[in-house]
Chains A and B, each alone.
Chain A
Amino acid sequence: MDQKELGAELHSIRRLMERSAKFISLSGLSGVLAGVYALAGAGVAYGLTYKTISLFPYEDNFPSDNTLVWQLAGIGLTVLVAAIVTAVLLSSRKARIQGQQVWNPASKALLRAIAYPLVAGGLLVFIAIAHGWFALVAPVCLIFYGLALVAGSRYTYRMVEWLGIMQLALGLVAAAVPGYGLLFWSLGFGVLHIVYGIIMHVKYDRRGEA
């Protein structure tokens, strides 16, 4: 082996280590679609809650009407399920194109890492709703989702860590200025997802590799 071959060999070994430990089939496009679903859901929620359109939806009377509360929760869940289904379908497709398995040690590690913050956050949101602590709903969603992304980023594109940190920061701001929950929720789950999805799509989806 000459020097060049040795260098190439070393490089391929490093790449293999990276590739085996990271889930690189995450689809950027599914991030964009998740953002679109979130904005659509937020639009419907806004219409149900306020009836009239104002630019800064400040809400000093949190929804006291029970039907409305569960309607809003239903919208949130629908958006969540649609986003998950889309992510699974598009990532499976991308994995197939890359000749990889979707269900591999890296994706299992990724799911394990995000499961605890996501489940804990989801339960906390239900507890908050049940107690009528509506001001906590949007911040808790954003903060726990951000924590999940930071935890999961070890097992996929590093860029995901930044998305997580931004969701986390947005959640804290949302907690500091209660009343703008829907606005911050739309910024985090809608706008940030779309922006990051586009960046990931351009950077990774087309080339099909990390």
Chain B
Amino acid sequence: MLKHFDKAFENRVRLQVMAVLMANDSYDFNSLKELLDVTDGNLASHLKALEKVGYIDVHKSFVGRKTNTSYTASAIGKQAFERHLNALEELINQHRS
């Protein structure tokens, strides 16, 4: 069972980021920061980690002269998230019975 637990989601912020990207087509950096109530540096490092394992895709665009960075969940990221959540659920159900 535990083998389905994803190392990438051991950190709470990373799991939360992934959850938001599952529920939305895309989400930008500032809105994520606002929603999760984390610091710039903290969020940036977790996003980098998720990007490195290929779970999220990064899109940079310009709004006027400011850069706007938004994120989307990749196909393998979505799969990994679902597997992780299912494993969590099964673990809970197992304990219950």
Contacts and interface: CB of A to CB of B under 8 A. Distances in A.
Interface of A: 3, 6-7, 9-10, 13, 16-21, 100-101, 104-106, 109
B42 interface: no
B35 interface: yes
Contacts, number: 49
Interface range for B: 20 to 34
11 contacts: A3-B95, A6-B92, A13-B85, A16-B35, A17-B19, A20-B23, A20-B24, A104-B35, A105-B31, A106-B24, A109-B24
B27 A105 contact: yes
Contacts of A17: 19-20, 22-23
Contact of A6 (B22, B23, B88): B88
Interface in B15-40: 15-16, 19-20, 22-24, 26-28, 31, 34-35
B34 A105 contact: no
A104 B31 contact: yes
Contacts of A6: 88, 91-92
Chain B facing A: main interface SS: helix
A29 B24 CA distance: 28
A119 B77 CA distance: 37
B96 A21 contact: no
A18 B95 contact: no
Given A21-B23, A101-B31, A16 B92 contact: no
A16 B12 CA distance: 12
Nearest to B91: A6
B9 to A, nearest CB: 10
A10 B96 contact: no
A3 B35 CA distance: 26
Given A3-B96, A18-B23, A21-B24, A104 B34 contact: yes
A10 B24 contact: no
B27 to A, nearest CB: 6
